[in-house]
Structures are given as structure tokens and as C-alpha cells.
Structure 1
Amino acid sequence: MKSGFVSIIGRTNAGKSALVNSLLEEKITLVSHKQNATRRKIKAIVMHEKDQIIFIDTPGLHKSSATLNQMLVESAIKAMGDCDLILFVASVFDDLKNYEEFLTLKPKVPHIIVLNKVDLTDNATLLKKLNDYAKFSDHFKAIIPYSCKKKTYKKLLLDEIVKYLDEHEYFYDPDFLTPSSQKELYRDFILESIYENLSEELPYSSEVIVTKAKEKSNLIIIDAQIITDTHSHKAMLIGKDGITIKRIGKDARKKISQLAQNKILLNLYVIVKKNWQKDEDFLKKNLNYEE
């Protein structure tokens, strides 16, 4: 029996969260085509035969001077030291610059490269990319192509990961999907719905705080605040006659209900807090960005 922690690292939009959901075969993490969608570390528990792998989905590595983005990157870098193994996730279409920058961080634990989105390319392109990475073979333990949709080489990837975990009792109940709280998961599903229903810029000036999640026999009642930085953004989030906030709520309820296997009553409230992204105390106290 082996058990251990695996941090998933890579640039924004490399497909890290989609990889977690694919390996877990259950949607628990926020997935968006927009940059920097993942803002918090979410753990997913994958049982592979008798072994337990705890994946840690992290914010994407990127350069920014903004307080919030700096905290996200610091969170991802910290996760590199709090694990037994790193999966460096890169799209098959990425150049090697991101991997070279990752190596400058001098990871202290072994790492495996996961070459993602291989279902979107041909064999010739894939082979060329594998050959490009070969010059770094002294640094990584393995490089494995993967498709989140088709789950190509899933068993091979999990088999390889287990090689680098220690013999250890399970850290979590093997029936659990995640040790993350329900409020954390609900919050990210609401945020994902904001990303899906609003323009490119607005979601980045918005956040979600779940203030209540009360479960009854056949219903979960959730109260959540959507935090944004200006009154004009608040108006856009609500929309004319409340049409936008209703659409966000409908999408979020569907996602949460699918995970919770229960009916959902979701109450959303839009709150204005100017410059929330620069308020480090607020970010740590209310949004768990210190983890």
C-alpha cells in the first residue's frame, strides 16, 4: 500500500484542472478556457488499485505584479515543496520556454511531464514534441502523453506516479473524492459559471464567498456573495431585470447538483468591495489565498 501527494504544476491554461477531473473521473475543479481561472489549491483523491494518490491542483504559473496574481503564483510554488512528486503539465502545442522556466525554480522532488491535449494533434507533431523534450531527460523521470477527454495512457500515468510514492497508510478515507470542504467546491462552481457567462475581463474582477451551505434531507441551501470591485461591474453581473445573475445561478445549481446528487437552492448576492484584489488581509481572511 502506497499513499502520497502529487502537485500539478504548469502555466495557466495548460489543462491542469481538466487533468484532475479526468483522473478522478468526477468534476470537482473549476475548468475554464480563460487564463488564471484556478485560484485555490484543490485536492483530489484517486485510488489506483491499492494505492492512494492525492492530487493538488494549483494556480497556473505566470508573471504579474498584481497582489492577487503574485499570491496565486506563491501558492503554486509552495505546493512544489509540499508533495512527493510533481506533474508538470504542458499542452502539446506549447513551446519549451515554460518548462525551462519551471526548471529555474529548482524543484526539490522528482517530476513527470504530462504532455496534454494530444487528442488535438497528429502523431508526427507529438513525436516531434517528445523529441524536443528529450534534451531535458536528465531532469524528468518520465514524459507521458495524455488526453483528458479520451483518458489516453491513464493507467500508464498512474502506474508511473505510484513508483515515486512511499509505503504509507491512506491519508484519507478511500471513499472520499476530496478532503476539500463543500463550501470550497461550491464556490469554485459558482465562479466557473461567472467565467462562462460574462465577458473576458469581468470575471477577473469578481470573487465568490459561500456564507452558508445547509443540507436538509432532500435539499441543500446555499447563500453566496459575488464580490466585485465597482458598481458598474455589479450592474453587469446582475444584468437587465436580473437576467445575468439568474443565468449564473442556473448554471451553478446544475454543476453543484450533479456533484452533490441533491436538489440545490442557491441564493446569490452581489457585493461591491473596491480594490479587493489588492487587499492582502481580505484575500487571506475571506478567500483562503494564504494556503
Structure 2
Amino acid sequence: MSKEIKTKAGFVAVVGRPNAGKSTLLNHIVGEKLAMVSKKAQATRKRMNIIEMHKGAQIIFVDTPGIHKKEKLLNEFMLDEALKAIGDADLILFLAPVTDKLDEYEKFLRLSEAKGSKHIIVLTKIDHAKQGDILNKLAQYQKYQDHFEAIIPFSVNKKVGKEQLLDEIVKYLPESPYLYDPELLTTDNIRDIYKELIRESIFENLSDEIPYESDVVIEKIDESDNMDRVYATIIVEKDTQKGMIVGKRGEGIKRVGKLARELLEEFAQKKIYLDLHVAVKKGWSKNKNDLESLGYVF
């Protein structure tokens, strides 16, 4: 009688301050552009499950919004998303840029210890620091060594830390059958992924408040083997914002649409026809009903 092979599976929440490098790290781990990446803070708004198979284990990473103070109702939703992920996870990765002071980690400890979750510190962006500074930062964290399971330096650009991090994560996952089809990369549907990629183009092409006061509704997707036809509307809060997105002679919306189409084609590996419009929904980020109609369910 053959011995039953034991498998592991579990949820790993990826948390940290806005712009700590969460989405960049996850895209690097799975080798696909799934999580939204932007140099601007607070680009990620909702939790997203990203799945990586590693040495017989199914790691379900949960990408979260950055931990930050509540301001608007939308910000409150984002903070709640991060806290729910911390509470539900089997393990937490706390991303700490090597240039940060320990203040953010100390705040995180106060949040996570109330939830009783184990965590690993991932020291990110080490390619921006000298070796001596990295060693000094590792030494600073040692006063908290009783609180974390491991601390791992990580660089996407230098491809440092991935294997070590995955090996370490697997140690703390519970024995379990796989929770999802091992072929899946994410539990998000195609609408959610397309929406996030269009939002990324807005962040990259527009400055100031517009990316934070805008959202995207995917109205319809007509899928075929060779091409997806995507019909989407960018939602903003003010008429002036609509004018800025559209731009003179429509140049702004063309620029946003061009990059968005490229991002969608890179992900889908086929041609994309993108029909993009802009609509005004005044005060949507402060109105609970409007937020819920856009998928932000409290």
C-alpha cells in the first residue's frame, strides 16, 4: 500500500506600509504581472489572492492595501482589508524597506500580536543599500527576535531571497489538501484583473489627486481565442477631473488607454480591443452605497 503524500496549504498575508514593495514582490514570486504596481502609495485597494506552488505546498499569498491612517471612507475600507488579512492568515510577511526606521514595524507588532499570528520580516529594497547598512538594519531588528520567526533580506532586482523565503514560509503552513486548483495563479476573476491593470495605467499617466479619486468599472468583456473586447468606464468625483483625464483633443484618455491595452495584452497574451470612457460620480469615495456598488463591500 503506497504511503499517502502529505500536502500543505495556507494563507500568507503580505503587509507593510504603503509603497513597501508588496505587489512587486508577489509579481516576482509568481513570475506574472497580477498585482497592481505603482510608485505612488496606496495603489492597492482590495485583498487579492495570488497562488504559488512550492515543494508540495500551496502558498496562497494575500496582497493587501498598505497599513495607514484612516482618512476617507475608502481609506477606512483599505485599512480594514489589511487587518482582516492579518486576522485570517496562517502566517504574515511584514515587508520592511531597508531604509525605514523600526517605527512601522513597532506599529505592526501592536496590531498583529492582538491577533496572535506568526510573522516573517522581509527586508526589501536591499539593492538600494550598502552591505554595511543592511547588516546594521538586521542587527537593529534583533531586539525583537522573540517576536518574529525569521528575517530575510530580499531584492527583486538582484533576485535575492526568493527561494529562502518560500522555504521558510512552507515550514509554517498547516498540513492540508490543496485549497485551489494547483494550475491557478489567482482566485480573482478576469474582470478584477483587467480593472486593476487599467487603474495602474491611470496611476502611471496622471498625477496628484486623480488616481486616488478614480476607479474603474468593467462594463462588459467579449472573450474569444484571439481577442478580448473590453468595455470600461473610469469613474471620477469631479467634472474637472474628467476634463484632466480626457485632456486636450482626447490626448489624455488616449495615453491612458494605450498603456492599459499594453498591460492587458501582456497579461492575456492576446490582442485587446479597449473601449474606455470617463464618467463623474460625485463624492463616490466618501459614500458607502457608491463604494459598495463599485465592489468595496464593508
Structure 2 length-normalised TM? 0.95
Please give the residue correspondences for 1:1-291 in structure 2 after superposition, counting only pairs within 5 Å. Answer: 1-105=7-111, 106=113, 107-290=115-298
Deviation string, structure 1 residues 61-99 (Cα, Å, up to 9, x no partner)? 011321110110011001101111000011011110000
In 1, Cα distance between equivalents of 2:244 and 2:11: 41
List, as ranges, runs of 4+ consecutive aligned residues in structure 1 with deviation greater than 3 Å.
none
How many corresponding residue pairs? Answer: 290
Give the deviation of 1:289 after TM superposition.
4.4
Q: What SS does the aligned partner of 2:291 have?
A: helix
For 2:160, the aligned partner's letter is T
Give the deviation of 1:104 after TM superposition.
1.1
CA contact (8 A) 2:15 2:82 kept: yes
Identity %: 48
CA contact (8 A) 2:96 2:124 kept: yes
Deviation string, structure 1 residues 207-231 (Cα, Å, up to 9, x no partner)? 1111112201211011111000111
Q: What SS does the aligned partner of 1:147 have?
A: coil
Structure 1 length-normalised TM? 0.97
Aligned Cα RMSD in Å? 1.0
For 2:198, the aligned partner's letter is I
In 1, Cα distance between equivalents of 2:144 and 2:221: 47
In 2, Cα distance between equivalents of 1:82 and 1:282: 27
For 1:276, the aligned partner's letter is W
In 2, Cα distance between equivalents of 1:51 and 1:167: 9
Give the deviation of 1:262 after TM superposition.
1.0
Change (3 A) 1:11 1:289: farther
CA contact (8 A) 2:90 2:173 kept: yes
In 2, Cα distance between equivalents of 1:76 and 1:151: 27
Structure 1 residues without counterparts, runs of 5 or longer: none
In 1, Cα distance between equivalents of 2:75 and 2:138: 31
Give the deviation of 1:175 after TM superposition.
1.2
Q: What SS does the aligned partner of 1:79 have?
A: helix
In 2, Cα distance between equivalents of 1:237 and 1:49: 46
In 1, Cα distance between equivalents of 2:38 and 2:272: 23
Deviation string, structure 1 residues 15-47 (Cα, Å, up to 9, x no partner)? 011111011111101111111111111111111
Q: What SS does the aligned partner of 1:251 have?
A: helix
Structure 2 residues without counterparts, runs of 5 or longer: 1-6
Deviation string, structure 1 residues 1-25 (Cα, Å, up to 9, x no partner)? 2111100010000001111101111
In 2, Cα distance between equivalents of 1:220 and 1:6: 32
Q: What SS does the aligned partner of 2:294 have?
A: helix
CA contact (8 A) 1:276 1:282 kept: yes
Deviation string, structure 1 residues 265-286 (Cα, Å, up to 9, x no partner)? 1111101011011011221232
Q: Which range is displaced more, 94-103 or 206-215?
A: 206-215
In 1, Cα distance between equivalents of 2:105 and 2:238: 37
CA contact (8 A) 2:49 2:60 kept: yes
Q: What SS does the aligned partner of 1:3 have?
A: strand
